[in-house]
Structure 1
Amino acid sequence: MTFTYSVTAHSGANPEVVYSALVRAGTWPLWSPIDAAEVEVGDPGDPQQAGDTRIFRTGRAVSHERIVELVTDRRFVYENVNGPFRFYRGSVELAQPREGGTDIVWSARFAPKLPLSGPLWRWYLTRFMRRMVEGLARYAEDG
């Protein structure tokens, strides 16, 4: 069984600024609940590319995520490659409304490994990712 979540925020910053934070793993601990970020190859302060794997630490939890699609200033798509999911594909969509700034939609489709844990994961991920998207929006405005 698959589950989804979707959270949104608006940033006063342009999409280029928001996108720049997304593709640099080193910025994530500055605007999210993530404690530390690394990349398998390269410097986390440099922009990553599709195919790159990033390692995030939050408390004792470690997450390996591979970037699978990038559309400059519009879309950032990744997959979790370890952890409690049979599959997990997340997406951050950026749109510039007429009044300016950036509308950010962070969503995912996932299937947990542990049967019957989907509703709990959806609840947890919705709360966690709401903090992510709101932090990203604020960081881009301040940057």
Structure 2
Amino acid sequence: MAAVFIKAANAKIRSNPWTDYFCSTHFWGPASNFTIPLAAIADTQKSPDLISGKMTGALIFYALTFMRFSLAITPRNGLLFGCHTVNATAQSIQGYRFMDWHYWGGKEKKLLAEKEAAAKEKLVEVDPAEEKRVRSGDTT
């Protein structure tokens, strides 16, 4: 009895091209894979010192490999290609941030900016007589 119901439901799903695609791995594989580029996009707001260079490199290679795979299979999977294109782009941005932070002076720039901000926050005590002289325009 259950086998007959399952067979009828499967035949109904497969008879409509849209539901056939929606119930296939051509849809659900890329749909579930989109969590990887979404996480990479969210991570662009975090500090670059948290980025793993090796993992970012592996994810770039992974994305480029499966971009190629999505075009090599029959039928071509545009959703999978789009997913890995977004992933390769997001991971490349993360790779750039990693390289900038560790090798191109990003860490030093941040430390310098923090020192400048701390210097601006410090209050400079001024002699009231000196302040009055400067405000009046007396430069002698």
Which band: TM-score by shorter chain?
A: under 0.3
The TM-score with structure 1 as length reference comes to 0.25
Higher strand share: 1
Q: Using CA pairs below 8 Å that are at least 6 residues apart, which structure has the higher relative contact order?
A: 1
Could you say which structure has the larger radius of gyration? 2
The TM-score with structure 2 as length reference comes to 0.26
